[in-house]
Amino acid sequence: MITIIRNFLANKSPIAHKYMNHDFTNEDDEFIEFDSYIVPESDLEQGQFRMLEVDNRVIIPELTHTRIVISAADVIHSYACPSLGIKADAYPGRLNQASVYINRPGTFFGQCSEICGILHSSMPIAIQSVSIRDFLL
């Protein structure tokens, strides 16, 4: 769940099966939920990365402290985005968290780094950082 709480963004990512599920509540208390699935190689566009692109990226504002709250729905996973210094294990029925502060716009990729089953390699993470102005629009 990603929740904006007075300039603080919290992201809870329950992870299940072969995709990432993200949900958040914005400042207007509107609940938003979406899944991020890997983009098949046959659907990639020029310049996209094989095994890393997802159909729905997590978008967070730059220059904002972000808390990522992580859980799992089925087996142990690990939410890892090395370029942001994030690696947090996700256990079913438990909450874990990581904090990040991104100081520039860009796209940051990661993957589940726990051998969690046959579809482990199909669980990429894509986090896009945008300016606060673009985030609020």
What CA–CA distance (Å, rounded) separates 131 from 27?
17
State percent of the chain over pLDDT 70.
Answer: 87
79-116 pLDDT, tens digit each: 899 999 999 998 888 989 888 999 999 999 999 888 88
CATH topology of domain 2-43+50-136: Immunoglobulin-like (2.60.40)
Confidence of residue 18 (pLDDT cuts 50, 70, 90): low
Average pLDDT, the chain: 83
Model confidence pLDDT, tens digit, residues 41-57? 999 999 999 999 999 99
pLDDT score at 41: 93
H or E stretch covering 136: helix 132-136
Where are the domains positioned within the chain?
A: 2-43+50-136
The model carries a pTM of 0.83
Residue 4 is predicted with a pLDDT of 38
Is the confidence at residue 12, as pLDDT, over 60? Answer: no
> Strand order of the sheet with strand 77-81?
58-61, 124-130, 106-112, 77-81, 86-90
